[in-house]
Amino acid sequence: MVHKAVIPVAGLGTRLLPLTRALPKEMLPIGDKPVIEHTIRELVDSGIDEITIVTSPRKDLIQRHFAPDADLELQLRAAGKDDLADAVAELSSLAHITYLYQNGPYGNGTPVLNAARVIGDEPFMVLWADDVFVAEVPRAKQLKAAYEATGAPVLALMPMAVEDASRYGVPVVKEDLGGGRLLISGLVEKPSPEQAPSRYAAIGGYVVTPGVVEELQEQTRRWHENPKGEIYLTDALHRHAAGHPVYGQVIDGTWWDTGSPLNYLKAQFAAALAHPVFGPELRELARESG
């Protein structure tokens, strides 16, 4: 079973500058919630509420968003605003969140390794916090089910246009097992369209096992011999796949990658139109504006 998840957020968010100069990209709203709250609710809805956020001192707003605030709650209740007080209380009791500062060589494998030291010898989920999924069964639950069926590392995949290959990790598919499950024999980070080994993108959701963590440790040991090296989860999964089964799970749902200016605005627009209360009026506005 997978009970724990890691969300690395220490990145600088350079693709969204200057918007992300002071505001962490994970705190940008999608609809009426910051991106990271969507990710945490997705995990909780999937039965995972032990969450490690690997962060940096510049991103303390994330901690503040989920922190308890007894004064605020008291003031809201005194003013008769119990709905708002309940919303603030709910946010701080949503999940058991632990924060760690990222420490180590550059690259997205380092926060995974930092968290693994605390989590210990068990599989855990890793989600980047710049994707939002709208799905009947949450993406994390689909990934968890794939791990439970295979007992091996799993990557969340979506079909992609081959022109987009250079933005993603692209899996080498060995066998299509049906039901969106693929046996993977490797993973190529950001290949050119000509070199893309498949038409699937790894979309920032993984179940990582102790074997993958060992690969990350090995990379880190070698990094000391080569201080220019970077530590990437993709490389660890690629090397693990050479000698062990690794699976891909094509996710059933809609994916909003919020990590670039255009995609962020698209996600924001779609979420506004789909808002359960304000959606109809906003759709009307969109129609009127042509």
Amino acid at 10: A
Q: How far apart are CA 204 and CA 259, in angstroms?
A: 11
Q: Which listed residue (36, 40, 202, 208) binds ligand G1P by CB under 6 A?
A: 202
Omega within 30 of 0 (cis) for the link into 18: yes
The footprint of ligand G1P on residues 233-272 (CB under 6 A) is: 234, 259
Q: How far apart are CA 28 and CA 25, in angstroms?
A: 5
x/- letters, 93..132, toward ligand G1P (CB under 6 A):
---------------x-------------------x----
Between 102 and 108, name the residue whose CB sits nearer to ligand G1P.
108
Between 89 and 170, name the residue whose CB sits nearer to ligand G1P.
170
Query: DSSP string spanning 180-238?
Result: TEEEEEEEEES--GGG-SSSEEEEEEEEE-HHHHHHHHHHHHHHHH-TT----HHHHHH
Question: Under the criterion CB under 6 A, does residue 204 sit at the interface with ligand G1P?
Answer: yes
x/- letters, 60..99, toward ligand G1P (CB under 6 A):
----------------------------------------
Q: Least CB distance from residue 277 to ligand G1P, whole Å?
A: 30
Q: Least CB distance from residue 161 to ligand G1P, whole Å?
A: 14
Q: How far apart are CA 207 and CA 8, in angstroms?
A: 14
Q: Which listed residue (169, 171, 186, 248) binds ligand G1P by CB under 6 A?
A: 169
Strands (E), the chain: 4-8, 29-30, 33-34, 50-55, 96-101, 124-127, 131-134, 154-159, 169-178, 181-189, 200-208, 246-250, 254-257
Is the distance from CB of 213 to CB of 112 less than 8 angstroms?
yes
Q: Which listed residue (189, 214, 230, 252) binds ligand G1P by CB under 6 A?
A: 189
- Residue at token pair 């707003």: 61
Question: Under the criterion CB under 6 A, does residue 154 sit at the interface with ligand G1P?
Answer: no
Q: Least CB distance from residue 78 to ligand G1P, whole Å?
A: 44
Residue nearest to ligand G1P (CB): 169
Q: How far apart are CA 77 and CA 54, in angstroms?
A: 33
Is the distance from CB of 233 to CB of 125 less than 8 angstroms?
no
Between 76 and 156, name the residue whose CB sits nearer to ligand G1P.
156
Question: Under the criterion CB under 6 A, does residue 49 sit at the interface with ligand G1P?
Answer: no
Binding site for ligand G1P (CB under 6 A): 108, 128, 168-169, 189, 201-204, 234, 259
